Amino acid sequence: MNFAVLFEAQNLALFGTGILTTLTLLLASLVIGAVLALVFALLLTGPWAPLRWLVGAYTYVIRGTPLLIQVYLIYYGLGQLEWIQARWDSVWPWTHFKDPFFCALLAFALNTAGYTAEMLAGAIRETSAGEIEAAQAYGMSRFQVMLRIVLPSALRRTLPAYSNEVVMMLHATSLASAVPSLVDVTAAAGSIYATYYLPFEAYLAAAAIYLVASFCLIGLFKVSERHLLAYLAPQTH
């Protein structure tokens, strides 16, 4: 065992870069994915059948294929299309497809959007009919009922399942190491392994970083759940 190597300045800097890349990928993909998921969930539960089928097909494909394949298809596959190659030097947004970070971020955002949309759509469908009828009795329109009653309730009830999705996305960011020249935590560990031939030390350090990050995320969601879902807790007398 030679853990001292991990504390050398250049290796600490390498892990620091990896942590920054991992957290940036995670936060950016969650923000973009959350916005897309909200739109998709509204379409999945909306009255427009063609849009329901289209979004349903999207979430089916996203949830039915491995994330690594999705990363490869975006980073390698799209770049092989002549139509995109003819435009990615000067035409926005195709210019971004030469950027490894953008390709990884796009894959992660689209993936988490598919899973989150189905969770949120399920929570919307399970909203109590009594709540909706009470809102309609107050004279609220369909839009007002969705905005003031259904969505706030659905978002709160989705929180426990969404916390699992966030932790899974943290772990999934390790697949960014499959994209060349993108240094995340896993890629940093791989670089140290290749340089010093210390696989156990390098990947154990990476595992510890993911474990600490997961612990912090779980704790944050536990605090949020206690605050936002307090009304669902058993009443004590």
pLDDT tens-digit series, residues 190-227: 999 999 988 999 999 999 999 999 999 999 999 988 87
pLDDT of residue 14: 94
Handedness of CA 86, 92, 97, 98 (dihedral sign): positive
Confidence of residue 136 (pLDDT cuts 50, 70, 90): confident
Q: Which residues contact 210 (CB under 8 A, 6 or more apart)?
A: 170, 171, 174, 185
Name the CATH topology of 3-232: MetI-like fold (1.10.3720)
Task: Please report the pLDDT score of residue 68 as a whole number.
Answer: 94
pLDDT of residue 43: 94
- Return the pLDDT at 234: 54
pTM: 0.90
Band the pLDDT of 164: cuts 50, 70, 90.
very high
* Burial (Cβ within 10 Å: 0-12, 13-18, ≥19) of residue 226: exposed
pLDDT for res 123: 92
CA distance 28 to 186: 18
Distance CA 195, CA 14 (A): 12
pLDDT tens column, 34-50: 999 999 999 999 889 99
Give residue limits of the domains in the chain.
3-232
